[in-house]
Structure 1
């Protein structure tokens, strides 16, 4: 089914903080793809049919996006927001991007109970039985593992691809090609990640070290993963890039559902046992909630990287497809600013530009979310987020530390603003 194009009231992102005028766009028969990042135009073009049989998309939709507070909140996190003012939230853009490779029937979203209603509204083509509600946050291993366990019962040969709901990507063709190549590698019993070519020595991302080439004709770019590296300091990151052997770890994983469960059984048997028990009851409404309530709280909270990817890589069971598309996890206001258009010597503005007046201000980002006029004079690289109930002022250089303010707000009794 072809998704509705941006501007459709049916699929517009519903944000309590931002609003944009509804666009009137004629009905088209082509599939919509978001324009390259930084280009504020609307790009609509035909896309060749390239459905991959047996490929299932899993979109974990979790996290509160605390580094983007107070724009992103616990009950309405960044994946539900339209951060480019193009009429599509991040989760809608993720759906659009992956649909050419699969179908709504083979797209699953795993989310918390407080986000289920908004996801249903934003993605009306999502089938009810493909929206999986996790009772509480347990990090990526439990979320992806739950989807794998359920999908393996529905299709024992399923190949799943896990893609975060809140990342931004430019270069759709390169992205789709990398995923298709990863599927071919995954069919040979590998856990496959997609490695992003680093544009700078980032200290905010983990890294993947490339190993030997994988001898699979359909995947000429694939390599073994030599090792995973945690977020490095600036000097180490620069050294990584200088070798040419490292890629950013974007947290995208493609593998057979059965193979992921096999790895989980070997490395984290308690999680495997719990997820299999839940999956056994998943399609039985009379038992499902009872089993979830009993088992889910007992599962270890751990990322998929630490649970299975790192130990499997040490045994030569993890591969990487190096890719060239643009990628950003929109992890803070500084990275968000880089993704928004701006005139020379002007700040980026996320919202109504008529509410922002500046003189000699450059490099920053302003979010006029309260409806008040914001005026700035002679200050560079500031982050100003003005919401109806909260005002945040910091610098781009310290935007990674916003989560510290979130903790202070919680400790001070301002949880209602989080």
Structure 2
């Protein structure tokens, strides 16, 4: 029997015996009922098509990532080998051991040929100089961080630059050291870090000379750290050209990197503060931007331009408009200049900061005097980034240049960014560690860190961030991974400082 209120369907070919208005009424109801049935079928088909289409889009998107190695912050030339996840089994121990964390494993991927982009008018395809050592060039590596953006994987006493985030067996600071060493040698490579990280840095960089490991008493942002190194190096070598490169950034394409730095050094010798601009792959709201100005027309640096202006982190619409013009580059915070020229800019724009750093540098080699002056001067120094202190005002006066880069770069600023740098099978989450500890069913995207050694099982959840450490579990989404440091603040306020 049909449900109450619904008339039985008339068999096909059978004529309704009821004449007149009543028969017509039954036929209309029958047609309406049939329409309802067909509409329900269509709705079901549409739902199934939408689900299938969404699944196909994810597979295509992840498939493109897998096949062509395109990461979120990838620039042309950023080649990240992406073997299937079974190859992620540990080949060697990672530098997590000093953090008392389980071995997350590491990967030594097959070599991938570097493919330079055509960013610059004179984009180099190979390092154009006979030797990679640049006489008179000193590398400065600021190594700071509170360990908040990748918490609980990173901590205050073990920030991300001390971690092996690429599964290659080397931490980020070790990779930075390896990359820059050919340019300056160990004798001309300096690291600036806080007292809580000195021991770990010395353990990870045993070839770093102790007099080149500069300890700043407390965090004062990049201007004080780089300025202190410049002041000390200017005393040691008045003709020193310094290059500042963060300890926790990832770079690929060594030839293009070396070429960009070599050009920057040539421009810096002519009294410019030089930055290196990264070709943006998408309208990021997480980076500052550099607006390219006129060409400098230097034979030794054919790609170099003046910096028209620096731009703070924009909103999405503004970032998209920057990309559309083709004359903006990401500001990666890399600066090359004469040590004495940087101090001249600092004296002009931030005289109090200049005076304080000069007092410290004058007594640096006298350890008792150094500690006394540091204790007296350092707390009163202004906390300010190098961009705001000297780069922006100097750019307005035509004293800052930029070398557009043709290498790949990523600052690994959150778990979403980290996920894009890890290999994975198509339509699967990225795994930082032992992939045998992660079991998934109908899960796409996201990143899982099985750091506690226990099994993590996920069913029907997409784009999650799961960081399972022995003492802490973090669960969020990739879309909100930049907000992790807010969670760290709440945990601190709630009395969990010992876990931070």
| Aligned equivalents of 1:11, 1:375: Cα separation in 2 | 26
Q: Assess if the C-alpha contact under 8 Å between 1:11 and 1:124 holds in 2.
A: no
Partner of 2:141: 59
| Aligned equivalents of 2:95, 2:400: Cα separation in 1 | 37
Q: Assess if the C-alpha contact under 8 Å between 1:312 and 1:318 holds in 2.
A: yes
Aligned residue runs from structure 1 range 204-283, under 5 A:
204-283=286-365
Q: Assess if the C-alpha contact under 8 Å between 1:13 and 1:122 holds in 2.
A: no
2:442 aligned to which of 349, 354, 360: 360
Aligned residue runs from structure 1 range 145-160, under 5 A:
145-160=227-242
Equivalent residue of 1:340, what SS? coil
Q: Given the superposition, is the C-alpha separation of residues 146 and 35 from structure 1 closer, same or farther in structure 2, using an over 3 Å criterion?
A: farther
Q: Assess if the C-alpha contact under 8 Å between 1:347 and 1:361 holds in 2.
A: yes
| Aligned equivalents of 2:130, 2:443: Cα separation in 1 | 45
| Aligned equivalents of 2:95, 2:151: Cα separation in 1 | 24
Tell me how far 1:19 sits from its aligned partner. 2.1
Partner of 2:260: 178
Q: Does 2:483 correspond to 1:401?
A: yes
Aligned residue runs from structure 1 range 278-293, under 5 A:
278-293=360-375
Q: Given the superposition, is the C-alpha separation of residues 397 and 86 from structure 1 closer, same or farther in structure 2, using an over 3 Å criterion?
A: same
Moved over 6 A (4+): 7-13, 33-37
Aligned residue runs from structure 1 range 342-381, under 5 A:
342-381=424-463
1:110 aligned to which of 183, 187, 192: 192
Q: Residue deviations 1:257-305, cap 9 Å, x none?
A: 0000000000000000000000001001121111111111010000000
Q: Residue deviations 1:158-213, cap 9 Å, x none?
A: 00000000000111111111000000000000000000000000000000000001
2:132 aligned to which of 50, 53, 58: 50
Q: Assess if the C-alpha contact under 8 Å between 2:252 and 2:407 holds in 1.
A: yes
Q: Given the superposition, is the C-alpha separation of residues 75 and 36 from structure 1 closer, same or farther in structure 2, using an over 3 Å criterion?
A: farther
Partner of 2:100: 16
Tell me how far 1:22 sits from its aligned partner. 8.5
Q: Residue deviations 1:65-106, cap 9 Å, x none?
A: 311111110000000000011110000000000111110000
Equivalent residue of 1:346, what SS? coil
1:83 aligned to which of 160, 165, 169: 165
Q: Given the superposition, is the C-alpha separation of residues 157 and 93 from structure 1 closer, same or farther in structure 2, using an over 3 Å criterion?
A: same
Q: Assess if the C-alpha contact under 8 Å between 2:147 and 2:158 holds in 1.
A: no
1:297 aligned to which of 371, 379, 402: 379
Tell me how far 1:215 sits from its aligned partner. 2.6
Partner of 1:330: 412
Q: Residue deviations 1:287-341, cap 9 Å, x none?
A: 1111111111010000000000000000000000001211010000000000000
| TM-score where L is the length of structure 1 | 0.91
| Aligned equivalents of 1:10, 1:393: Cα separation in 2 | 24
Q: Assess if the C-alpha contact under 8 Å between 2:304 and 2:404 holds in 1.
A: yes
Tell me how far 1:21 sits from its aligned partner. 5.6
Gaps of 5+ in 2: 1-90, 115-128
Q: Assess if the C-alpha contact under 8 Å between 1:368 and 1:387 holds in 2.
A: yes
Equivalent residue of 1:67, what SS? coil
| Aligned equivalents of 1:334, 1:119: Cα separation in 2 | 26
1:319 aligned to which of 379, 383, 401: 401
Partner of 1:129: 211
| Aligned equivalents of 2:167, 2:355: Cα separation in 1 | 44
Structure ranking higher in helix proportion:
2
Tell me how far 1:10 sits from its aligned partner. 12
Tell me how far 1:8 sits from its aligned partner. 9.0
Q: Given the superposition, is the C-alpha separation of residues 18 and 51 from structure 1 closer, same or farther in structure 2, using an over 3 Å criterion?
A: farther
Tell me how far 1:36 sits from its aligned partner. 8.1
The structure having more radius of gyration, on CA atoms, is 2
RMSD of the alignment, in Å?
2.1
Equivalent residue of 1:319, what SS? strand
Tell me how far 1:14 sits from its aligned partner. 3.9
Tell me how far 1:13 sits from its aligned partner. 7.3
Q: Assess if the C-alpha contact under 8 Å between 2:433 and 2:449 holds in 1.
A: yes
Partner of 1:203: 285
Q: Given the superposition, is the C-alpha separation of residues 110 and 391 from structure 1 closer, same or farther in structure 2, using an over 3 Å criterion?
A: same
Aligned residues: 395
Q: Given the superposition, is the C-alpha separation of residues 239 and 21 from structure 1 closer, same or farther in structure 2, using an over 3 Å criterion?
A: closer
Q: Given the superposition, is the C-alpha separation of residues 22 and 231 from structure 1 closer, same or farther in structure 2, using an over 3 Å criterion?
A: closer
Q: Given the superposition, is the C-alpha separation of residues 166 and 402 from structure 1 closer, same or farther in structure 2, using an over 3 Å criterion?
A: same
Tell me how far 1:18 sits from its aligned partner. 5.0
- Which deviates further from its counterpart, 48-57 or 306-315? 48-57
